[in-house]
Every structure is written in structure tokens, then in C-alpha cells.
């Protein structure tokens, strides 16, 4: 199983070091993969027993891109996993730019967690599959380091996860499009994670709020490991 934590705009370098130190004290079943996306200011330059990923980056090595994070900066911290397409980034990034980021990440061999998800209006109009297909149409679905995370926008940060049957239907649909591993994200917590991980084609979870405190994240992993 994949247990990924998106810390968003939370934690400083000092608090993330405490977070990472606690993760580093634990050993994981070889069938589990742990990925944590801290804010870039909190990247750690140390040996970690989990994968440290980047929430965002600019598709460049370096250059005249004020305020951006290039590959050169990710390399300094040994980061080879990136998050692309999160709905909180799609507010600022169009499909062309998202494709540019994906193509750059693929060129340099990054593991990509590619986020997709529909809003409540699209869901109520029964256009979810059509909407998700469009979000995926510009990327290489055969890329061997691709992971797709289904995160319905109406569930992110709301405390209300999508209906289990809806998740199952979407993951079945995504599996028909790509053999990439599939995650679910959107108000994953201790009350629903076990049921979500039992859904057909679910290879793991992308956790937000419930992973901000390290003791909570560790409990979610320990209680639901393979």
C-alpha cells in the first residue's frame, strides 16, 4: 500500500524535522511505501526511510523564474517524487502548463503523483468520467513512474469523503485507462481509511489534514499496513 501525506502550507523546517525523525524511527513492511510532501521551505537534507516529495515545482533546471523552484533545487535535497495537478494548484495552472510539468518530470525520471477530481456540479450532472478523462488526456498514461490520485474536489478538506461506491466506480474506470497505481484522496481519516483501502484497484491513499500530526499519520499507517 502507498500512504502519502500532503502537508500543504503547514510545518516549518524545524517542525518537519521532528515529524521526519519520528517516521525514521519506525520500520515499514516492504509492501508499503510512505511518501510525504512537506512545503519546500521545510525540505530536509538527510537520510530518510520514506520518500520526501515536492508539492510544486517549475519545469526548469534553473533560470529567470522569480519565486519558482527548479530541478536544481529539488536535486539538492535528493527529491525524485513530485505532486502534479492538485486542485489547489489547478486554480493557478491551466492544462497546458500541467502537461508541461508532467513532460518535464517524465523527462528527468521523477515519480509523479498526478491528481484529478471533479467538483460537485460535475458529479451531479453524471459527467465525472468524462471530466476525469479530459484531465488525463494530455499525459502519458503508460509512464512507468506514474501514480494517479483521485481526489474529488468536494471532499478535499470538507471532512466528508466520497461515497465508497462512487470511489469504486471511478477507480474501475481509471483502471480501464491506465495500469498506473491508483490512490484515493479527500477527507481520508481513521474512520474511513480501512474501507477505502479495501476498494478494488485502490493501491493507497493521499492524506491531508489527518496526516498533519505525525502521531496520527503513524497510526493510520500502522493500523492499515499490508
What is the share, in percent, of the chain residues with pLDDT greater than 90? 92
What pLDDT does 78 receive? 97
pLDDT in tens, 165-177: 999 999 999 999 9
Which of 11, 33, 86, 118 is an active site residue? 86
The pTM for the full model equals 0.96
Asked if the model's pLDDT at residue 179 lies above 80, the reply is yes
Domain spans in the chain, listed from the N-terminal domain onward? 2-224
Which of 11, 33, 118, 151 is an active site residue? 151
Going from the C-alpha of 187 to that of each of 34, 156, 203, the distances in angstroms are 18, 6, 17
Asked if the model's pLDDT at residue 204 lies above 80, the reply is yes
Instruction: Give the mean model confidence (pLDDT) for residues 4-33.
Output: 94
The reply to whether 86 belongs to the active site is yes
Contact 80, 105 (CB under 8 A): no
The reply to whether 11 belongs to the active site is no
pLDDT band at 7 (very low <50, low <70, confident <90, very high): very high
Distance CA 29, CA 18 (A): 22
In the three-class reduction of DSSP (H, G, I as helix; E, B as strand; rest coil), residue 82 is classed as strand
Instruction: Give the mean model confidence (pLDDT) for residues 113-128.
Output: 96
CATH architecture of residue range(s) 2-224: Alpha-Beta Barrel (3.20)
What pLDDT does 158 receive? 66
Amino acid at each position: 500500500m502507498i500512504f502519502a501525506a500532503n502537508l500543504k502550507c503547514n510545518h516549518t523546517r524545524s517542525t518537519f524535522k521532528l515529524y521526519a525523525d519520528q517516521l525514521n524511527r519506525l520500520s515499514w513492511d516492504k509492501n508499503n511505501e510512505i511518501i510525504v510532501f512537506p512545503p519546500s521551505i521545510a525540505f530536509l537534507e538527510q537520510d530518510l526511510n520514506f520518500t520526501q516529495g515536492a508539492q510544486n515545482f517549475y519545469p526548469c533546471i534553473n533560470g529567470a523564474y522569480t519565486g519558482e523552484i527548479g530541478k536544481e533545487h529539488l536535486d539538492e535535497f535528493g527529491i525524485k517524487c513530485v505532486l502534479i495537478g492538485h486542485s489547489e494548484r489547478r486554480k493557478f495552472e491551466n492544462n497546458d502548463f500541467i502537461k508541461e510539468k508532467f513532460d518535464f518530470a517524465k523527462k528527468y525520471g521523477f515519480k509523479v503523483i498526478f491528481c484529478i477530481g471533479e467538483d460537485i456540479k460535475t458529479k451531479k450532472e453524471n459527467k465525472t468520467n468524462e471530466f476525469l478523462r479530459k484531465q488525463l488526456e494530455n499525459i502519458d498514461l503508460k509512464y512507468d513512474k506514474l501514480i494517479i490520485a483521485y481526489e474529488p474536489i468536494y471532499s478535499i478538506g470538507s471532512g466528508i469523503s466520497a461515497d465508497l461506491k462512487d470511489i469504486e466506480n471511478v477507480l474501475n474506470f481509471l483502471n480501464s485507462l491506465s495500469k498506473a497505481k491508483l490512490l484515493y484522496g479527500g477527507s481520508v481519516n481513521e474512520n474511513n481509511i480501512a474501507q477505502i483501502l479495501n476498494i478494488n484497484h485502490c493501491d493507497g491513499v493521499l492524506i491531508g489534514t489527518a496526516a498533519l500530526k505525525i502521531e496520527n499519520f503513524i497510526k493510520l499507517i500502522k493500523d492499515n499496513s499490508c
